Amino acid sequence: SQQGEEDPQALSIQEGENATMNCSYKTSINNLQWYRQNSGRGLVHLILIRSNEREKHSGRLRVTLDTSKKSSSLLITASRAADTASYFCATDSSGTYKYIFGTGTRLKVLA
């Protein structure tokens, strides 16, 4: 079964609003990462949070991790039209080289 599942599947907001996406996973992890994918392009790494961290910031991005609930959230503040993309969480399986991705959240930011 897949490791990461994002929620919601699709999200549409107005420019300037905040966007929150959630990710749940099933097994213990070393770290969790968030990626962005623009249509027809490859994925771009946004931020990595380790299993012993609870919160991390990078510019307008804020990621939280709750290992007791096996969940993470990505908050994009003051969204822009350029943030329109699909967002994926990825988790590693301890002791392997596997990064497992979910189906992603499709974010649309309306100008």
Partner 1 sequence: ETGVTQTPRHLVMGMTNKKSLKCEQHLGHNAMYWYKQSAKKPLELMFVYSLEERVENNSVPSRFSPECPNSSHLFLHLHTLQPEDSALYLCASSQAFARDYNSPLHFGNGTRLTVT
CB of 95 to partner 1, least distance (A): 6
Nearer to partner 1, 9 or 18 (CB): 9
- The residues of the shown chain that bind partner 1, judged by CB under 8 A, are 2, 4, 30-31, 33, 35, 40-45, 48, 88, 90, 92, 94-104
Nearer to partner 1, 40 or 69 (CB): 40
Give 69: exposed, middle or buried? Use CB within 10 Å, 0-12, 13-18, 19+. exposed
Nearer to partner 1, 12 or 30 (CB): 30
